Amino acid sequence: MSDLTYKIIVGLEIHVQLNTRTKMFCGCALSFGEEANSRVCPVCLGLPGALPVMNGQAVEHSILAAMALNCEIAEFTKWDRKSYYYPDLPKNYQISQYDLPLGGPGYIEIPLEDGKTKRIRIRRAHLEEDAGKNLHTAGHHSQVDLNRAGTPLLEIVTEPDLNSPEQVRALAVELQRIVRYLGVSEADMQKGHMRFEPNVNLIIERGGQQFKTPIAEVKNLNSFRALERSVAYEVRRQLDDFLETGRTMQMGNKSTRGWDDVNEATVLQREKEEAHDYRYFPDPDLVPVTPSSQWLAQIRSRLCELPVQRQTRYVSEYGLSDYDAGVLTGDRSTADFFEQAVKLGAAPKRVCNLLTQVGLKLANEKGRDLPGLGLTSDGVAELARMVDTGTISASAGNTILAAMVETGKKPDVLAQELNLIQKSDAGELERILDQVLAENAAAVAEITTGGKKAQKSRGFLMGQVMQKTQGQANPKIVSELLSKKLGS
Ligand code: ZN
Ligand code: MN
């Protein structure tokens, strides 16, 4: 065992639900949580003779997302029928894209823990429709809800370039940020807007020989946590299995597994890879898509700076930590808000602190974004300036920001009302300091003679001044005065 090393190999398939008003091939409204089978029509019910009509918005969203993933966009792409039989699929085929996907190859940059990024290749991105949902909650029979049938999905397939559970998670999180930035998906995990299927195996080196474990595909994961943990579980399981049985990858021994959230384990579903014959063939009811160069140019103009680029720029341009930059670029509205405040002349680090320590916490609690809290970038910029010029202390800044959310008042008004303006009048502070020095001769002596407790005595005198001013003295000015008077 001691000479054994291994490398984790993961490729990921992701289905992203697109943010459109209606379904992919009919006019039914997309919905969540509606009464079962209340958002259906002859097309998505698969009734004979019903004809699909393509949703142009879904195609546009997909192309935009594919462009953001640096994919080549096909000049000619078509729709194929993928035939299989399942109760949630009333047509007995899914409309998908087989040999001519609308996008690919491309790549995505994912952030690593050390602040660097890694490039993961994208094999393809194609558009398809979702199936309905089988429900197994009604005792001795199952039920089918077709509200979801026909929902537009963008399927993205990566090359097996991911080498740890953390990288797999990072890709999923980054993809969520990207589709949200672009506005092509709400990417709400609670509503199943993103579903993941990692393909995992190991390359093991032992005694100068190389072995590959059989690939396991974990189906239908709908949280980042389940995704990361299932990959970590597969690594342990495959290593154990190899040590016990010596089994390696062969034709047809790929398995499909499910994730048991309660026991935190993957569970075998199908052992042998079935030679699926989906009888793919072009859908005769739909015309191919041949995007014009004008249309593509118009879509490309909607591309924006991607979150990972923005994150890197916040570190280099504004001197923020990678962590802070990651939080601020977590969603576009926060990043835009932050940058707007900085453009108004506020110090980036100060705005960052106000937003991460107070603003985003409140936004999270109330389930809103920063503008949704009634905050404006003008107001936050003004507040940041008040802290930086010493008008108020940093902690008063946090108090005032919370009060701005509660009352909608301006920061200078709140600073007055809450009595948080620091005393910065050097003349007045000097009088108070003189009084403190007179009352504490021992501490003064300690400092002027450079005694062991000089530092401590200095802190004590500062504290006395703060006390006499009910904590409102500007500590920077008091400190300067103290240095001037005692030469410390
Ligand atoms: Zn419909
Ligand atoms: Mn699919």
Render pLDDT for 295-338 as a digit per residue (tens, 0 to 9).
999 999 999 999 999 999 999 999 999 999 999 999 899 999 99
> What's the mean pLDDT in 206-219?
96
Each residue's pLDDT tens digit, 65-90: 999 999 999 999 999 999 999 999 99
| ∠ Cα 303 304 310 (to 5°) | 150
* pLDDT for residue 78: 97
Percent residues over pLDDT 90 in the chain: 84
Closest ligand by atom to 152 CA: 2
Q: How far is the CA of 45 from the centre of ligand 1 (A)?
A: 7
H/E stretch holding 206:
strand 194-206
Q: How far is the CA of 12 from the centre of ligand 1 (A)?
A: 30
* Closest C-alpha among 395, 353, 351, 398 to residue 376: 351
pLDDT at position 114 over 90: no
Q: How far is the CA of 219 from the centre of ligand 2 (A)?
A: 11
Q: How far is the CA of 63 from the centre of ligand 2 (A)?
A: 17
> What's the mean pLDDT in 196-208?
96
Long-range contacts of the stretch 473-482 (C-beta < 8 A, 24+): 473/422, 473/423, 473/429, 473/432, 474/390, 474/422, 474/423, 474/424, 474/429, 475/393, 476/390, 477/390, 477/424, 477/426, 477/429, 478/429, 478/433, 481/426, 481/429, 481/430, 481/433, 482/433, 482/458
Closest ligand by atom to 28 CA: 1
> What's the mean pLDDT in 378-385?
97
Each residue's pLDDT tens digit, 435-461: 999 999 999 988 888 878 888 999 999
What is 426-486's CATH number, 3.40.50.720, 1.10.10.10, 2.130.10.10, 1.10.10.410?
1.10.10.410
Q: How far is the CA of 130 from the centre of ligand 2 (A)?
A: 8
The pLDDT-based confidence of 113 (bands split at 50, 70, 90) is confident
Contacts of residue 368, defined as CB under 8 A and 6 or more positions apart, other chains included, come to: none
> What's the mean pLDDT in 280-294?
96
Q: How far is the CA of 404 from the centre of ligand 1 (A)?
A: 46
Q: How far is the CA of 74 from the centre of ligand 2 (A)?
A: 19
Closest ligand by atom to 195 CA: 2
Closest ligand by atom to 124 CA: 2
Closest ligand by atom to 42 CA: 1
- Range(s) of the chain covered by CATH 1.10.10.410: 426-486
Closest ligand by atom to 153 CA: 2
* pLDDT for residue 138: 79
What are the E-state strand segments in 207-329? 209-212, 216-218, 255-260, 265-270, 281-282
Each residue's pLDDT tens digit, 45-55: 999 999 999 99
Closest ligand by atom to 156 CA: 2
Contacts of residue 339, defined as CB under 8 A and 6 or more positions apart, other chains included, come to: none
Other Cβ atoms within 10 Å of 267 Cβ, number: 10
The pLDDT-based confidence of 470 (bands split at 50, 70, 90) is confident
Neighbours of ion ligand 1 (CB under 5 A): 26, 28, 41, 43-44
Q: How far is the CA of 373 from the centre of ligand 2 (A)?
A: 38
pLDDT at position 2 over 80: no
Tokens (6 digits) for 116: 């660097």
